[in-house]
Amino acid sequence: MLHKSLHSATVCASSEIGNDPAYGAVTPPLYLSSTYNFKALDDMGPYDYGRSGNPNRDALATTLAKMESGAGAVITSSGMAAIDLALNLVPAGGLVIAPHDCYSGTHRLLLARQKQGRLKVEFVDQTNEVNIANRLTKSPALVFIETPSNPLMRVADIKAICQLAKKHGALSVCDNTFLSPARQNPLTLGADIVVHSSTKYINGHSDVVGGAVIAKSEEHIEALTWWANCTGVTGAPFDAFLTLRGLRTLHARLDIQENNALIIAKFLDAHSAVSKVYYPGLKSAPGYELARCQQSGPGAMLSFELASGRAGAAAFLEGTSIFQLAESLGGTESLVCHPASMTHRAMDEQARAAAGISEGLIRLSVGIEHIDDQLAELERLFAALGDASIKSANHDQ
């Protein structure tokens, strides 16, 4: 069943509100019980055991399914658990087509499953439709899409890729973590399944690790639910409770973060120390027009290249304050990271080079701090970068 009667922002704020059957609590109560009473022999209620089902997980799943226009959702213990859960739909030895510049954890998982003999994987530049079409002639079981990509913000055509996948009998799975359901809805563009690291924008407060898988069809939801229970990757009740609490403010948070990110992207684009900016909100960015068609906004993630390479990155990242030097993304606080040595260090050097992840690449997750303070911090970091260059030149003399 599709859910499009309410705006996504209204779903965030009102879903599962006032539905407490016991005491009429306005917000959903927390259910920590690991087990539940049977009414009688062979008469089980809606829940029997915490791994199989929980009211807090169901409340979060219902809300995300509405936001993504899906038939249902499964809440998992992490974003990687969500991706691995979706891979259970691939038959033994089946081929998976994935982006060459996908998140390092996804890249590592697919290679590990291939090494086990569980599946086969081929990585391809998904912004090149000819490359995608050629790989699909190999009859893959699943096409995995990540757009915008992490960390280079490349925009892949979800609708076109999903149409090709369907033509060749392949499932299409889209990682929607970077934009969240507030800015992109892959199921409405033709994807069969959407995965999220709910750790990021969905929760939005950097205090919960979790994931979600949303499917368009009841058939896929039944299979995913079975596998989640069988393998035990379902999320904890308290994590689901906190995630739904964080989700309430998704649109409000993202509106501020996105506005700040666009200002910062323009600032970086004009800076002499920056050789390139990757952000779908810039008119000069590859994929800008496509992003405008399939996204309702460019999001709040961006990356940029320092002309001074790794040495410049080291100098730039020393003494960060407002932009915390840390992995992850999507929280209210601003984060900065060096993908080559942090989020994507699990990829070998050759894979990083093929993906275009250089030693001078910096990734920003833009938070809700005041834009004036964010820009002041960036000015200070760039000034320190200049000072470091001067000191290095004097030392060389």
| Final residue before a domain boundary, out of 227, 247, 267 | 247
Q: 167 lies in a domain?
A: yes
Residue 239 is a catalytic residue: no
- Residue 64 sits in a domain whose CATH number is 3.40.640.10
Would you say residue 344 has pLDDT above 80?
yes
Task: Please check whether residues 241 and 358 belong to one and the same domain.
Answer: no
Average pLDDT for the chain = 94
- Chain mean position to CA 78: 11
Q: 2 lies in a domain?
A: no
Q: How far apart are CA 110 and CA 84, in angstroms?
A: 9
What are the tens digits of pLDDT across the range 27-81?
999 999 999 999 999 999 999 999 999 999 999 999 999 999 999 999 999 999 9
Percent of the chain with pLDDT over 90: 93
| Final residue before a domain boundary, out of 216, 247, 278 | 247
Task: Please check whether residues 113 and 166 belong to one and the same domain.
Answer: yes
Q: 28 lies in a domain?
A: yes
Q: 135 lies in a domain?
A: yes
Please pick, among 101, 175, 192, 239, the residue that the annotation labels catalytic.
175
Residue 51 is a catalytic residue: yes
Residue 175 is a catalytic residue: yes
Task: Please check whether residues 230 and 295 belong to one and the same domain.
Answer: no
Q: Work out the average pLDDT over 16-33.
A: 93
Q: What is the pLDDT of residue 159?
A: 97
Q: Work out the average pLDDT over 353-363.
A: 95
Task: Please check whether residues 256 and 215 belong to one and the same domain.
Answer: no
Task: Please check whether residues 305 and 318 belong to one and the same domain.
Answer: yes
Q: 64 lies in a domain?
A: yes
Task: Please check whether residues 115 and 181 belong to one and the same domain.
Answer: yes
Would you say residue 2 has pLDDT above 60?
no
Q: What is the pLDDT of residue 394?
A: 38
Task: Please check whether residues 192 and 260 belong to one and the same domain.
Answer: no
Beta strand 211-215 pairing with 193-197: antiparallel
Q: What is the pLDDT of residue 360?
A: 96
Q: What is the pLDDT of residue 170?
A: 98
- Residue 356 sits in a domain whose CATH number is 3.90.1150.10
| Alpha-carbon distance values, 227 to 81, 96, 197, 344 (Å) | 11, 19, 18, 28
Would you say residue 233 has pLDDT above 80?
yes
| Structural domain boundaries enclosing 290 | 251-396
Task: Please check whether residues 299 and 357 belong to one and the same domain.
Answer: yes
Task: Please check whether residues 180 and 116 belong to one and the same domain.
Answer: yes
Please pick, among 58, 101, 103, 278, the residue that the annotation labels catalytic.
103
- Structural Rg of the chain based on CA atoms: 22
Strand, coil or helix: 270:
coil
- Residue 317 in contact with residue 325, Cβ under 8 Å? yes
Task: Please check whether residues 255 and 235 belong to one and the same domain.
Answer: no
Q: How far apart are CA 148 and CA 154, in angstroms?
A: 5
Q: 1 lies in a domain?
A: no
Please pick, among 57, 135, 183, 200, the residue that the annotation labels catalytic.
200
Residue 103 is a catalytic residue: yes
Q: What is the pLDDT of residue 387?
A: 58
Would you say residue 4 has pLDDT above 80?
no
Locate all alpha helices (DSSP H) within the chain, ordered by sequence: 8-14, 55-68, 79-87, 104-116, 129-136, 158-167, 218-231, 237-247, 250-269, 288-294, 309-316, 349-355, 371-396
Task: Please check whether residues 213 and 267 belong to one and the same domain.
Answer: no
Task: Please check whether residues 331 and 348 belong to one and the same domain.
Answer: yes
Q: 3 lies in a domain?
A: no
Q: Work out the average pLDDT over 232-261.
A: 98
Q: What is the pLDDT of residue 396?
A: 42
| Final residue before a domain boundary, out of 224, 247, 270 | 247
Sign of CA dihedral 339, 149, 295, 209: negative
What are the tens digits of pLDDT across the range 101-124?
999 999 999 999 999 999 999 999
φ/ψ of residue 93, rounded to 5: 80, 0
Q: How far apart are CA 79 and CA 61, in angstroms?
A: 14
What are the tens digits of pLDDT across the range 271-312?
999 999 999 999 999 999 999 999 999 999 999 999 999 999
The count of structural domains within the chain is 2
Q: How far apart are CA 48 and CA 53, in angstroms?
A: 7
Residues with Cβ < 8 Å from 224, sequence gap 6 or more? 74, 85, 86, 88, 89, 193, 213, 215
Please pick, among 51, 166, 292, 310, the residue that the annotation labels catalytic.
51
Q: 349 lies in a domain?
A: yes
